[in-house]
Amino acid sequence: MNNLLTEKLKLLKLFVWDNFCPDYSPGVAFAIAESEQQAKEMITRYFDSVTRSVEWPDPIKSEELNWGQVKTYKLTDKVAFAMEGCS
């Protein structure tokens, strides 16, 4: 691997919110990003794209989402998650 790619990978982390939006139906949100803010922006864009509808026509803002506590991992950390749920 070249040095530039190696340095870029060192900046990336896995950000995990395991109680994301509990006021709707608790879920998990995660992103690989350089900062928590960048991760939240990425998740907000994704969440907005899948929830936009006639009932919810306005863009979602990050501060409108219930984030809960974030857990941060280096990409070299060994991590595992499991979820169960019913509708």
pLDDT, one tens digit per residue, over 19-73 is 887 666 778 899 999 999 999 999 988 888 877 766 666 777 788 788 889 999 9
Exposure string of 29-54, with b = 16+ CB inside 10 Å and e = fewer, is bbbebeeeeebbebbbeebbeeeeee
Distance, CA of 19 to CA of 75 (rounded, Å): 21
* Residue 81 counted as domain residue: no
In this predicted structure, the answer to whether residue 15 has a pLDDT above a threshold of 80 is yes
Place of tokens 């190696």: 6
* Residue 37 counted as domain residue: yes
How confident is the model at residue 38, as a pLDDT? 96
How confident is the model at residue 21, as a pLDDT? 79
Domain count, the chain: 1
Q: What residues form DSSP beta bridges with 16? A: 30, 71
Residue 15 vs residue 18, higher pLDDT: 15
* Residue 80 counted as domain residue: no
Q: Whole domain around residue 8: which residue ranges?
A: 3-74
Q: Hey, what are 4's tokens? A: 């530039």
pTM above 0.85, yes or no: no
Distance, CA of 68 to CA of 60 (rounded, Å): 17
